[in-house]
Structure 1
């Protein structure tokens, strides 16, 4: 019985070819691929030179890889008319700019699908090329070219950046060439609570000069708009930011501050282990058994862990470990304090306590005190600027590690930077302007 809810099948609409100015005239579907015969809906039969009427001379067929349906590659065989002008004799071919770029092997819908697969589904180029039934180079070139057009070469992606994050990133693990790049992150959405962080740029090398040159290349008005720079303990980034962004506040990330204190606890434990036992930690050694417990926040300790620490600190040989552990816990509690004013006061008191007056025997605390005293303003700035942290930068680094692993490594840095910007640059594919 007729049901008004359903209509006759229309491949043109189903395959979204009407947006490309194409109309399906036939199909050939096999288990491995679907081939759609198409024609251009716009006649385009007026001479491009004199405006005279054109007569059909012959037809040519252009093949395009289209977005797959059900992971069955879809190929478009577009039949194009060629005209000859009755006035001047000029010969031209029907335009299909709405469907594809000149000389392109992929339709605009195919390129959009490829971008969505790379950016949103985190597929590899090899898997995308398989879905489109094209060569790896063809798919990769199309993705990178479209990515550059809509994102990488778009100057507006640097607009309204007020909070920066900077870190280093290892992009390859081979001995040839520089393995590290400097990663610049836009933390403005995180600080404002409007969205996730996004990758702004990557520059080869990791040094003060690398970051300084990148900042110097930005317009003066842009640099004046940057209010905060979040970073780790590397002094090169700190110096570059101070020279190029004198009005911006530097914030040393809590993760790196706690990690420095945790490293002090570990090194102190290892030193005392060697002094008391004469060897590295082994199974059954009290200090070795407590290595993870020592790095656990005091408010998260179980009863068993509390007992283990009480027995450990009951030994007079472990006094230095206990003192270092106490400073580590005070740093952790300062960051966990819900009242930022109180947390800032607690952090300042810890820095003052270990900056001077620490016994020389506690070499780890002495070194930690010198570091925190030198970067005290950067450490305390965190409490004055809620939401400012280099944590999202570390998270994006993790996403880039996953990208490199899924691609089984990269050999070309330019290609790697382009893929990283597509992966973490805040890009969301959109239709070509001619499509709508």
Structure 2
């Protein structure tokens, strides 16, 4: 983008002066904010728009720009996209990234008070950032070779959670409420035939529902008892002998 002007605006309607920055996208074809395709301009738009940016010291910063609109047969007439903010957002991408990072170390009320936004707004911003990150990341199910499945309970053992991990990349790739063959089968339904074919090893405990599910969904995979449960069973047996 190109910054055309920057000035400090003092208004009786605002508690503190605001640093207004007036940017514009670089010259060239405009892009539709819905599909991202390049289109010619439709009109000059309906006035200026504002986006909240990260504070500069103790001053609030806002980006102000007049955006043209574009016309695309599939999307209709819509505002052109801008490089500093996502479609439909009143905040810049940098501001949203800061808000989402703060949400990982504090609750929504604390983050909202720190950034001077509503706590519901902080939650909406974090969800938008998470969706963008998820869309840009490759599928966690690609390249699976060895997976592990196990169940755990919480809330005093009344609620169960089924967890699937990728042994090669050492990370959780699926967690779903419930337990048993039907819940584990939902994981395999989310995989493509190629992803199921690449899975060669499935580890787990001695639950009876694991074997038939693996045999049905991944017939070429080898069923292996995981080391954690083997050590646990051996320890229990030694305790009984003692």
TM-score greater than 0.5 by the shorter chain = yes
Counterpart contact for 2:5–2:22, Cα < 8 Å:
yes
State how far apart, in whole Å, the 1-side matches of 2:150 and 2:5 are.
51
RMSD over aligned Cα atoms: 3.9
Counterpart contact for 2:25–2:82, Cα < 8 Å:
no
Quick check: 1:143 aligned with 2:149? no
Which residue number corresponds to residue 182 of structure 2? 209
Quick check: 1:248 aligned with 2:221? yes
Counterpart contact for 1:28–1:34, Cα < 8 Å:
yes
Which residue number corresponds to residue 42 of structure 2? 49
Which residue number corresponds to residue 291 of structure 1? none
Which residue number corresponds to residue 26 of structure 1? 7
Which residue number corresponds to residue 155 of structure 2? 173
Quick check: 1:262 aligned with 2:242? no
State how far apart, in whole Å, the 1-side matches of 2:118 and 2:147 are.
39
1:231 maps to which of 198, 201, 204: 204
Per-residue CA distance 1:196-218 (angstroms, 9 max, x = gap): x2221222211111102321342
State how far apart, in whole Å, the 1-side matches of 2:17 and 2:212 are.
59
Shift of 1:82: 7.1
Report the structure, 1 or 2, having the larger strand content: 2
State how far apart, in whole Å, the 2-side matches of 1:62 and 1:174 are.
49
**Structure with higher RCO (Cα < 8 A, 6+ apart):** 1
State how far apart, in whole Å, the 1-side matches of 2:116 and 2:198 are.
47
- Max radius of gyration: which structure? 1
Report the structure, 1 or 2, having the larger helix content: 1
How many residues are aligned here?
Answer: 220
State how far apart, in whole Å, the 1-side matches of 2:150 and 2:159 are.
14
- Residue aligned with 1:235, SS: coil
Quick check: 1:162 aligned with 2:145? yes
State how far apart, in whole Å, the 1-side matches of 2:87 and 2:204 are.
45
List runs of 5+ in structure 1 lacking aligned partners: 1-19, 84-91, 190-196, 269-323, 326-436
State how far apart, in whole Å, the 1-side matches of 2:135 and 2:81 are.
26
Q: TM-score scaled by structure 2?
A: 0.70
List runs of 5+ in structure 2 lacking aligned partners: 31-39, 69-76
Per-residue CA distance 1:176-207 (angstroms, 9 max, x = gap): xx722211222222xxxxxxx22212222111
Per-residue CA distance 1:332-391 (angstroms, 9 max, x = gap): xxxxxxxxxxxxxxxxxxxxxxxxxxxxxxxxxxxxxxxxxxxxxxxxxxxxxxxxxxxx
